[in-house]
């Protein structure tokens, strides 16, 4: 990427992002166009964090798999988080677990900028971020058997029944994740929508090569490894439930 382009990366990402489209049975369709993402404007701090540090923290969609050893400068296991929001919990996990490398995908550009700014503040360097459609990144840029884990926390619930097919957690998505996970790799999901939690559980249980770590074969208490977010703390005060699922890929 040219140097002058790096100086405008925040605005470029804000304006043009690919959106996933799915068939009626949840199969991913390759997109034929981009669209203007209607997000909040980036603050000056978020914009500066992206523009000044994208060369280190940012990864772009490409036509071949990522070389994680080259990107991170080591061979530590890689954990992917899809939809990291403002990135605070992702940065916290990366800081607390230097023995892992973290890769975060988020299409909301203010969140990407905030995540990079927090990583700089916390002096975290075992983290890279992508501002692109997650399905396309998984298909094109993540090698099979290369991820130690997948994290998906509070994805869009698409609460209306007619929109349930837009939920990212569908059988084809989990089948794709399974290809990318190493043996003993994990899938950790969390949602505050009980209906979505039940749907996630059904989809994950349908995979014969996945084992549920829950002693009751459904959900687990929030593990200490997943930081409590401000969003979640607010929900707890309002009496909202949160459901965590943690499955392991069999050897």
**Has 4 been labeled as part of a binding site?**
no
Q: Name beta bridge partners: 80.
A: 103, 150
**Has 123 been labeled as part of a binding site?**
no
**Has 133 been labeled as part of a binding site?**
yes
What pTM does this model have?
0.85
What is the structure's pLDDT at 15? 56
Within 10 A of 68 (CB to CB), how many other CB atoms are there?
A: 20
Angle of helix 44-57 relative to helix 109-121, nearest 10 degrees, comes to 70
For residues 149 and 225, the answer to whether their CB atoms sit within 8 Å is: no
What is the structure's pLDDT at 23? 55
Q: Would you please indicate which residues are annotated as catalytic (active-site) residues?
A: 156
180-226 pLDDT, tens digit per residue, is: 999 999 999 999 999 999 999 999 999 999 999 999 999 999 999 99
30-41 pLDDT, tens digit per residue, is: 543 333 344 567
89-101 pLDDT, tens digit per residue, is: 999 999 999 999 9
């Amino acid at each position: 990427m040219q140097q002058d382009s790096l100086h405008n990366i925040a605005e470029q990402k804000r304006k043009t992002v690919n959106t996933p489209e799915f068939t009626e049975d949840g199969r991913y369709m390759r997109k034929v166009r981009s669209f203007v993402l209607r997000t909040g404007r980036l603050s000056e701090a978020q914009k500066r964090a992206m523009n000044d540090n994208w060369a280190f923290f940012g990864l772009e969609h490409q036509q071949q798999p990522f070389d994680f050893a080259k990107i991170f400068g080591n061979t530590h296991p890689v954990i992917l988080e899809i939809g990291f929001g403002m990135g605070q919990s992702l940065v916290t996990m990366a800081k607390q677990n230097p023995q892992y490398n973290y890769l975060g995908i988020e299409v909301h550009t203010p969140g990407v900028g905030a995540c990079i700014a927090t990583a700089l503040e916390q002096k975290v360097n075992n983290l890279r971020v992508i501002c692109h459609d997650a399905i396309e990144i998984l298909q094109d840029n993540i090698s099979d058997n290369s991820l130690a884990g997948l994290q998906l926390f509070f994805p869009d619930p698409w609460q209306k029944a007619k929109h349930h097919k837009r939920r990212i957690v569908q059988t084809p998505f989990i089948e794709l994740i399974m290809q990318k996970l190493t043996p003993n790799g994990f899938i950790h999901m969390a949602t505050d929508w009980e209906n979505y939690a039940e749907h996630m559980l059904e989809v994950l249980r349908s995979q014969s090569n996945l084992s549920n770590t829950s002693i009751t074969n459904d959900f687990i208490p929030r593990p200490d490894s997943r930081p409590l977010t401000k969003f979640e703390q607010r929900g707890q005060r309002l009496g909202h439930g949160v459901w965590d699922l943690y499955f392991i890929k069999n050897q």
